[in-house]
Amino acid sequence: MPVFKTPFNGYSVKFSPFYENQLAVATAQNFGILGNGRVHVLQLGPTVTERAAFDTADGVYDLCWSESHDSLIVAAIADGSLKIYDSSLPPAANPIRSLHEHARECHGVDFNSVRKDSFLSASWDDTVKLWTVDRPASVRTFKEHAYCVYSAAWNPRHADVFASASGDCTTRIWDVREPGSTMILPAHEFEILSCDWNKYDDCIIATASVDKSIKVWDVRNYRIPVAVLNGHGYAVRKVKFSPHRGSLMASCSYDMTVCLWDYMVEDALIGRYDHHTEFAVGVDMSVLVEGLLASTGWDELVYVWQHGTDPRAP
């Protein structure tokens, strides 16, 4: 499987929802602490090639593809801004928007896949903001978390429902139509770094935490987790439900591995890939090609591989 080497430390990778052979990678210099960043748009062919790259003055922590426009990418930048790139335009004409409202680093973005017109940004200034592509300012600010918000994820079925994962050890469920959060999930004893919704059951949510575990919750009965998935050796950085199978999840962790889980079965860990030689911080599953995985990490490498094969195989 071809590998792509990025100049900076990888932070996030996302498959395009339009082209099965495109993916975008967010990278940041100096492990994201200080320095420039770059957004890569990669093309899968016989090898992985770079279609376009956009430089930023600060590290890029996350990105997402637009669900309505095949070439738009929203990037979350370490200076608190969100930048929208059009991968069909040359770097000189990019970014096409820069939205600067967050007071601190922006750590997560997610595009609404139901309504397809809006996206969320989660920031270390303890807020989540709702944006649309055509507006210069945010539509709403959700400020309830008591500490950094690390990620926000739209519900795949309900256009107005989303979840946010925060360092205040809670996950909150929000409905855009409501003034405040509709549910507070004290999911872990430690900071929660990521959350994602089950694509086939709109009430199931997974949270990944610094306590090395992933927990799966049913929002209808959130006192006890549906499943607790242990197996990572360090904080779990990102968790992602499969677009093709309801119970399948991928996760990546600071223990440098990418793991696949089926939370329905007793022995939940169904695959472990230890191809990264540094913290694995980004993982994604292709919506268009079943079983296709991509991961990136601080070893500056982007791997794309089919589930069940060795990512490092030539």
Partner 1 sequence: MESKPSTTPSSFIDQQVFPGDVVLDLSKMANQTIKLGGGLRQDGDVISVMKAGKLRFSKPNKYWVESSNKRYVPSAGDNVLGIVVDAKADNFLVDIKGPTLAFLPVLAFEGGTRRNIPKFEMGTLLYVRVVKANTGMNPELSCMDASGKAAEYGPLKEGFMFESSTGLSRTLLSSPTCPVLETLGKKLAFEIAVGDSVEEHTVMATPSDAPPSSTDEKPQNPVSQVTQPSNDDRQDTKVEGVKESSPTSVFVNSEPIREEQVQNAVKFLSHPKVRGSPVMYRRSFLERKGLTKEEIDEAFRRVPDPTPAVATTQSVVTNQDGQIKSSSNGQQQPPAQVLQPTPVGPVGSSSKMGILSRFHWYHAVFAVGFLAVSGAGTAVLIKNAIVPRLKSWIRKVASEEDEEGPMKENNAKPNVAEEAAAAAKAAAAAAADVARASQDILITKSEEKRYFEELINLLNVQTNEMKSMSNAVQKLEGGQSINGRITVEEQANQRVSRTSSRQPYTNGKADADSSSVRSLSPPAPVEPSAAPHPKSYMEEINDAPPNPNQPVSNPRLAPKPKPWESNQAQNSSLTTFQSQESSNGSNYGDNQLNGDDTLPWWQRKNVRITEIETADEQKFGSPNLPSNERPVQRSSWVPPQPPPVVMPEAAAAIRQPKKSSYLSDDQLLSQSTDVTDELQRITKISESGGAVDANGQISGLQSAELPQEENGSYLET
List the interface residues with partner 1, window 16-45 (CB under 8 A). 17-21, 29, 33-36, 44-45
158 counts as binding partner 1 under rule CB under 8 A = yes
Site string for partner 1, 172-211 (x = CB under 8 A): -x-x-xx-x-xxx-x------------xxx-x--------
Name residues contacting partner 1, limited to 255-284 (CB under 8 A).
262, 264-265, 267, 269-272
Burial of 45 (0-12, 13-18, 19+ CB in 10 A): exposed
d(CA 139, CA 122): 14
DSSP code of residue 198: -
Stretches 166-174, 249-257, 275-283, 295-303: which one binds partner 1 (CB under 8 A)?
Answer: 166-174
Residue with Cβ nearer partner 1 (95 or 282): 95
d(CA 26, CA 40): 7
53 counts as binding partner 1 under rule CB under 8 A = no
d(CA 282, CA 291): 16
CB of 290 to partner 1, least distance (A): 6
Strands (E), 18-100: 22-28, 37-44, 48-56, 60-65, 72-77, 81-86, 97-100
- Give kind and range of the element (H or E) at residue 161: strand 161-166
167 counts as binding partner 1 under rule CB under 8 A = yes
Name residues contacting partner 1, limited to 60-119 (CB under 8 A).
67-72, 77-80, 83, 86, 88-89, 92-98, 100, 103-105, 113, 116
